[in-house]
């Protein structure tokens, strides 16, 4: 799913990564490969956020999903693989206004 700037900041406050800007030259290829998402990169690889079940208190959450991993220790290229849900859940909203993907 694509996140607005507020949700990107909220995600980054809970997940140690960098957001890839929408104007980055790799975004068209990433969108062709993985769909229209906001992409995050960290020491483990390339991630997206997918909707998760709302918490009991009504807060919307997102599941961080790894879609590509670093090919080598130098982190010079990524290798795509089937989506791998991580154990990272991020709180996206407290009012049920999570964007649709």
In-domain check, residue 48: yes
Task: Give the phi and the psi of residue 93 in degrees, each rounded to 5.
Answer: -160, 160
In-domain check, residue 57: yes
In-domain check, residue 40: yes
Overall domain count for the chain: 1
- pLDDT, one tens digit per residue, over 84-101 is 999 999 998 754 444 443
In-domain check, residue 59: yes
Cβ 98 vs Cβ 51: under 8 Å = yes
CB atoms within 10 A of CB 64: 23
In-domain check, residue 72: yes
Cβ 47 vs Cβ 89: under 8 Å = no
In-domain check, residue 98: no
Residue 85: C-alpha distances to residues 21, 94, 97 (Å): 22, 23, 23
CA separation for the pair 65, 68 (Å, rounded) = 9
pTM of the predicted model, to two decimals?
Answer: 0.86
Structural domain of 16: 5-93
- pLDDT, one tens digit per residue, over 2-42 is 999 999 999 999 999 999 999 999 999 999 999 999 999 99
Q: What is the DSSP letter of 32?
A: H
């Amino acid at each position: 799913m694509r996140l607005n700037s507020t949700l990107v900041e909220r995600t980054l406050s809970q997940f140690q990564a960098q957001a890839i800007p929408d104007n980055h030259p790799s975004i068209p290829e990433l969108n062709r490969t993985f769909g229209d998402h906001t992409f995050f990169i960290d020491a483990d690889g390339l991630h997206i956020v997918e909707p998760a079940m709302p918490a009991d208190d009504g807060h919307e959450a997102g599941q961080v999903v790894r879609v590509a991993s670093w090919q080598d220790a130098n982190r010079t290229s990524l290798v795509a693989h089937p989506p791998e849900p991580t154990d990272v859940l991020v709180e996206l909203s407290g009012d049920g206004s999570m964007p649709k993907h």
